[in-house]
Structure 1
C-alpha cells in the first residue's frame, strides 16, 4: 500500500519581506503516526528546491517515517523574493530561513520531529538546532560546513584536482566577470560531475533543482554569489562555529568520499557537537541519496529508528 502524499502551503508572516509569504510543502506518510517521528528535510542551495530529496520516501516505505519536504521562500513553488534582490544582509541572512522553519513546524502542529539539513540546509539548520528548539529529537547534518571559509577552502582544494585548462577557464571568467558564459558553465559541469553527483546521466530530480537556479537565481546570487568557489554575497563571512556546542540532541554526520563537503569542512561538527556520529559513503559525492541510495537509506533509517 502506497503511503499518503499531500501538498499544502503555510502562510509565513515576515514583515521585512514587504509582502505576505507562503511556504510550499509536501508530506509523505502520516504525521500523526504514533510509531515514527517525522523527518523535516532542509534543502540545499540556497534556492534549489525540494525535488532532489524525493528518494527519502524510501524511509516512509521501509520504516514508516513521515517525510516533510518544503521549498524555502525565494524558490520553487514558495513565494518568490525578486522584490528583495537589492536588499542587504539585514534581510538576506539565516534568520529568515530559521524563522520559516519554525513557522512550518507550528503550521504542521509538530511537537516531536527530526531534522535533516543538506548542504546550505545544514548551515541554517545548525543555527536552528543550536537554539535547542522544543520538539527536536534528532538532527542529521549532510554534506555541509559550519562556516563559509571552511566550505571555500574545501572547494579550492577540489578545484586544484581538475585539468589545468579547466582551472584556467574558471579563473579567467571569474576575473572577467563572465561567470554566466557557456565556457564557465561547461567548466562547472565538469566540476559537478565529479563532486556534486557522479552518476551518468545525472538524475532528473537534480537537474530539476539546478533549473530552478537558472529560472530564478535571486536567493543564490544574493546570498552566495556566481559559483560554489566565488562567494560575494551576504553569506561571505557566515559561521556557526561558536554555537555548535549548543546542539544538544543526538546528531548524525553524513558525507561522501568525493563530496564538495570534504572531511576538512565537516570535521568541526565532529569535534564541537557533544553527541555525534559520522558515516561516510565511499562511492558518493554530494548526493549520496542517489549515488548509494540503498546503503544511505539503511544508515539513515536505522539511526532514526533508534530510541
Structure 2
C-alpha cells in the first residue's frame, strides 16, 4: 500500500498525525522506555518542600513523544478524578496525558501544615513533577482547570522555557474580578430569600449548616455543571465532593463556590499575561462561574493567545459542552505541534 494512503488511514484513526513517524495503536500503548508501565502508568513522585519530603500521585495514559499534557486539577484540594472524562477523547486522538493529584489531595500525601498552602510552593511542586516525568519544551503542554488555571498561569510566568503550550481552562486571571462577577452577576440570579439566608449564614460563618449547601444547589446546577446534582458524573462527585480536602480548600479558596475569600482573595496576574509568550488557549463558557468576557480579554493580552468559547458550557464545560470542549482542545494541541514541527 502507498505510504500516503497508510498515513491517511492512520490520520483518520488518530485525528491527525501526532507522532514524528506514522503512529500505530501499538505505539500509543507501548510499554517501552516507561518506568511506570509495570504498574499501569502510576508513579508516586518524591517532592521536596519547606515542611519536609512527601510524594504525589501521577498516572500516565498513552505514549506520544510530541504531545504530552499534564493536567492540573481544581480546588485547591480536589483531585484529578473529574478529568477522567478525558479518557473518552484524548486516547483516540493519540494524545499522551498525565493525571496528577497535587500535594494535599486524595491520592497524594496529605500533610497538615499551613506553610504548604502557598502558590509559589505549588509552582515549585509542578516543576519537580515535570522534571520527574521528563517533560520539556519539545512535548510539554500544561492544562489547568479552575484553581489549576491559577497554578498554570503562575507556572508559565516562572518556567515557560519548558513549555510547548499552555491551556487555561475556565479560570480568570484575577480573583478580585471573579468576586466582582460573582457579586454583580451570579448572586442576583439566586432567589432573593435564598440569597438573604446565605448572607446571614455567611456572616455567622455557619458553613457547616446543611442549609448553606442546600441554598447553593441552584447555583451549582446553573454554573458549575449544568445537570441536576443527582445526575452529576460519578468522577465529579468523587473529586469535588467525597475526596475534597477541606483543610486545603477552605483556607485557600474559602468555604463557597460563590466567590473566593481565602488566601487567594487578592491574587491578580492580569497585567503579567503579556509576559507569557508560549501558545496559550483560554477556554471560557457562557454559564461559567468565571466571566467568559474576561477570559476572552485574557486571550487578547497573551502574545500567542487563542480563545475557545463554549456556548452551552459552565465551569465544568468538559462535561456539559463536551464535544465542543474537546474538539477545540485537540485542535489547539495539534496546531501547536504542527507549527513547531514545521518551524
TM over 0.5: yes
Q: Is the partner of 1:9 in helix, strand or coil?
A: strand
Which residue number in structure 1 is paired with residue 43 of structure 2? Answer: 8
Q: Is the partner of 2:41 in helix, strand or coil?
A: strand
- Pairs within 5 Å for 1:52-131: 52-82=82-112, 84-85=113-114, 87=115, 91-111=116-136, 112-131=139-158
CA shift digits 1:214-257 (9 cap, x unpaired): 5x311111112111235332112112123211110111111111
Q: Is the partner of 2:199 in helix, strand or coil?
A: helix
- Pairs within 5 Å for 1:88-237: 91-111=116-136, 112-156=139-183, 157-200=185-228, 201-212=231-242, 216-229=245-258, 231-237=260-266
Q: CA deviation at 1:260?
A: 0.5
User: Aligned pairs, how many?
Assistant: 296
CA shift digits 1:183-230 (9 cap, x unpaired): 10111222111100002311111111122465x311111112111235
Conserved? CA contact 2:282–2:296, under 8 Å = no
Q: CA deviation at 1:268?
A: 4.2
Q: CA RMSD in A?
A: 1.8
Q: CA deviation at 1:133?
A: 2.7
Between the aligned partners of 2:235 and 2:260, the Cα distance in structure 1 is: 25
Between the aligned partners of 2:261 and 2:312, the Cα distance in structure 1 is: 32
Between the aligned partners of 1:232 and 1:147, the Cα distance in structure 2 is: 13
Q: 4+ runs of 1 displaced by more than 6 Å?
A: none
Matched, 1:250 2:276: no
Conserved? CA contact 1:29–1:60, under 8 Å = no
Conserved? CA contact 1:132–1:248, under 8 Å = no
TM-score (norm 2): 0.81
Conserved? CA contact 1:113–1:137, under 8 Å = yes
Q: Is the partner of 1:255 in helix, strand or coil?
A: strand
Which residue number in structure 2 is paired with residue 29 of structure 1? Answer: 62
Structure with greater helix percent: 2
TM-score (norm 1): 0.91
Conserved? CA contact 2:178–2:259, under 8 Å = no
Higher gyration radius (CA): 2
Between the aligned partners of 2:258 and 2:324, the Cα distance in structure 1 is: 30
Between the aligned partners of 1:125 and 1:182, the Cα distance in structure 2 is: 33
